[in-house]
Homo-oligomer: A and B are copies of this chain.
Amino acid sequence: MIVRVQAEDFDPEQEAQALAVTGAGARVSFVGTVRDFNATARVTALEIEHYPRMTEAELTRVAHEAQRTWGLLDVLVVHRYGRLHAGDRIVLVVTWALHRKAAFRGCEEIIDVLKTRAPFWKKEITGDGDIWIEGETPQT
């Protein structure tokens, strides 16, 4: 299992190859990217703040839970922080399983739970000031 938080961009295929998982019949990858900004809002960038060490700890918990629930052979999670622009990759989740259902369910669960529990916060940078994007409340 690899869980990493970084400012740098990543190559989804190179990341997945690095784990060198064997015996899997199915691999599902999710790549989240910055959508085009609303032109009228004059948004020029996105700034992602995070809570160092807790992000890794929480992502690891989320990945382990999904691995147990769905019997995943392996899991990879990479999440970026810092300043991002339209089209930039934000997050990568890859799951390996014997069969496709487990790989799909596990991958989707990780990104769903990540969005409610991993301590990241997004701010839109505009010419008129910055706007925090409203987040989701984690279940404790």
Where the two chains meet, the residues of A that have a C-beta atom closer than 8 Å to any C-beta of B are 11-14, 22-36, 87, 98, 100, 103-104, 107-108, 111
Contacts and interface: CB of A to CB of B under 8 A. Distances in A.
Copies of this chain, how many?
2
A25 B35 contact: yes
Contact of A30 (B23, B27, B31): B27
A30 B36 contact: no
B22 A27 contact: no
Nearest to A99: B35
Contacts of A27: 29-31, 33
A31 B32 CA distance: 18
Contact of A13 (B12, B24, B98): B12
